[in-house]
Structure 1
Amino acid sequence: FSYDAQAWFGRDYDRLVIKAEGDLLEGKVPEARTEVLWGHAFAPFWDTQLGLRSDSGGGSERRWLAVGVQGLAPYWFGVDAVAYIGEGGRTALRLGAEYEVLLTQKLILQPRVEFNIYGQPDEAREIGSGLSNGTAALRLRYEINRQLAPYIGVEWKGKYGATADLARTAGERTEESRWVAGVRFWF
């Protein structure tokens, strides 16, 4: 079981943003990321974000200071770019982009990519420096109404560079594909 959630509370200009992502495998959480951010609009469709990130699950727990932007680039590309500074001089960068292709007024195809880059290795969490991992996803959702939209899709995950080397040494796979299904909602 995997989860990927984002929620915000507040108004258009200032809001509390919560992002959470992780996996649940045989009753354990091998990997999870939770972010609590303050978002402030600085231009139409663009927010700056400042807050904290916590990595938990397998290995040592890590805490990070997060600074980033999230918004809609020209031609309606959703962009999420966040830089992290952690304990012991650790640095990281997460870049994500998505796009919505309207097949009909209610049927929407959404390609999405995300990449994680780390400044130095963290062997306790099986992360190498440089481009660490990436995800490419394709989701098809049906909007029953604007507030409720179930979706199905496929997701490809890969580990790269030194992170892939650490995974191979531990006897783990460096690539995986999986089917996804979920519900997108807001109120």
Structure 2
Amino acid sequence: MDHGAMKQGAADPAGSDHSTMDHSSMDHSGMDGSNMDHSGMDHASMGHQAGASQDLPATAEPHEPIPVVTPADRAAAFPDLDAHVMHGESINSYWSLDRLEAWDADEDGTGMAWEAKAWVGSDLNRLWLRSEGERVGGSTESGDVEVLYGRAIAPWWDAVAGVRHDFGFDGGPSRTYAALGVIGLAPYKFEVEATAYVGESGQVGLGAEAEYEMLFTNRLIGQWLIEGEAWSKDDPAVGIGSGLSKVEAGFRLRYEFHRQFAPYVGVVWERAYGGTADFRRAESGDVDDTRIVAGVRIWF
């Protein structure tokens, strides 16, 4: 090659002239793969011998040994679980005054209603307490309390059994029923309660309630509610007629200043049906009622 004809000034910062160099005297044998001496190389160690691509024997040591598992590794992989996570026998409790509200009852004065529920026990076995009632014009029109044993039967569902007692007010008779039902969280986060009641003289009733909560913000929450009752026989002494007795539906908007304390306002619609409506008409009572309510929700 005639390097003298090549212009290398741009590549050589010193601008040196290589045209007078005698490249024939340079030994390029080390750069020519055909002249390299491979006689001293151990090709067996390079894995070219027959069978080198096969797996190692089972007794061979791994090329990168797996570190020995330490107690710290086990602790990180399997953290200690408390009794609540393991469905243990630790005793927990929940107490809720879900509704404590008032409204203007026109000529009857001020009305007030409450609904409370609580449970005490473990994740599998619980004692449930429920109560609800109404007062209008300074007198209590209805009120009951239920004491139930609950057993977890499926994720988010409890079966309950116990006793319900309806108090007699204004000289009216009281009633006691055996109760059997379920409490749980249905798909799409509907909170559901359904209970069957068996009372004296073969009286059978069914009560059902469903709630759904909408989060407008983390603190502003709307609660939809619908509930109803049906009975198998007339009971004029307590104003109950056979068939569908009453249906109540409402919407309450609450603001949680604290998760355990939330005032609310709402609208509630109630209607009596069948024999129950006839008993109310006979007493000059309202069969259909819509009211604006204000109240507070508390739990601990």
TM tier relative to shorter chain: over 0.9
Partner of 2:109: none
* 1:54 to 2:147 alignment: no
Structure 1: distance between partners of 2:222 and 2:147: 29
Report the TM-score when normalising by structure 2: 0.60
RMSD over equivalenced CA pairs, Å: 1.3
For the Cα contact (< 8 Å) 1:29–1:57, is it kept in 2?
Answer: no
Structure 1: distance between partners of 2:118 and 2:155: 19
Give, as a single letter, the amino acid of the residue that structure 2 aligns with 1:91.
Answer: V
Structure 1: distance between partners of 2:148 and 2:199: 15
Unmatched runs of 5 consecutive residues or more in structure 2: 1-111
Q: Which runs of structure 2 are paired with 1:69-88 in the superposition (5 Å)?
A: 69-88=182-201
* 1:117 to 2:230 alignment: yes
Cα-to-partner distance string for 1:100-137 (whole Å, 9 max, x where unaligned): 11111111111100000001110101110000011101
| 2:140 equivalent among 29, 37, 47 | 29
* 1:177 to 2:290 alignment: yes
| 1:163 equivalent among 252, 255, 276 | 276
Report the TM-score when normalising by structure 1: 0.94
1:99 counterpart SS class: strand
Q: Counting strand residues as a fraction of each chain, which structure ranks higher? A: 1
Partner of 1:142: 255
For the Cα contact (< 8 Å) 1:115–1:135, is it kept in 2?
Answer: yes
Structure 1 residue 182, shift from structure 2 partner: 2.5
For the Cα contact (< 8 Å) 2:268–2:293, is it kept in 1?
Answer: yes
Unmatched runs of 5 consecutive residues or more in structure 1: none
Paired positions, count: 187
For the Cα contact (< 8 Å) 2:177–2:199, is it kept in 1?
Answer: yes
Structure 2: distance between partners of 1:12 and 1:103: 31
Structure 1 residue 68, shift from structure 2 partner: 0.5
Give, as a single letter, the amino acid of the residue that structure 1 aligns with 2:151.
Answer: H
| 1:18 equivalent among 122, 129, 132 | 129
